[in-house]
């Protein structure tokens, strides 16, 4: 099997994989894939290819850790007290306060302008 055929097989496998597929199945596939690469005639593999495969298999930085990090992020975003919904709610409250006619951004700008005018006044500045 040529390098191109092996890489095509690898790409096809990853396209077929479900995101939550058992990580051990993925590791078994990659181990088998590496064995096929080692035994295939004329299937030279570059340092880059080996690096990518090594990263995928790495317990600390590989697929397992990436999936864990993604799940942690999703969990934080779904948190009722501190998640995405709460963040959106707080942003809306801030926007509402900034748009308030009496105490919002328009009023703040007006008060700052009044202060600047007083400071620039030759008689009272």
Q: What is the pLDDT of residues 83-115, one digit of tens each?
A: 999 999 999 999 999 898 888 888 889 999 999
pLDDT bin (cut points 50, 70, 90) of residue 2 is: low
Q: Is the pLDDT of residue 5 over 60?
A: yes
- Contact 25/18 with Cβ under 8 angstroms? no
pTM: 0.40
Asked whether 42 and 3 are in contact (CB, 8 A), the reply is yes
Task: For the chain, give every domain's residue range.
Answer: 3-76, 80-120
The confidence score (pLDDT) of residue 28 equals 76
d(CA 101, CA 109): 11
Q: What share of the chain is helix, strand, coil (3-state, %, to 5)?
A: 70, 0, 30
């Amino acid at each position: 099997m040529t390098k191109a055929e092996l890489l095509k097989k690898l790409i096809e496998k990853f396209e077929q994989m479900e995101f939550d597929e058992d990580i051990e199945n993925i590791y078994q596939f990659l181990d088998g894939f590496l064995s096929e690469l080692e035994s295939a005639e004329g299937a030279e593999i570059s340092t880059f290819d080996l690096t990518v495969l090594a990263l995928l298999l790495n317990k600390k930085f590989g697929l397992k850790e990436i999936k864990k990090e993604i799940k942690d992020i999703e969990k934080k975003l779904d948190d009722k007290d501190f998640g995405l919904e709460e963040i959106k709610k707080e942003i809306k409250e801030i926007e509402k306060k900034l748009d308030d006619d009496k105490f919002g951004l328009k009023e703040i700008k007006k008060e700052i302008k009044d202060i600047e005018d007083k400071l620039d006044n030759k008689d009272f500045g």
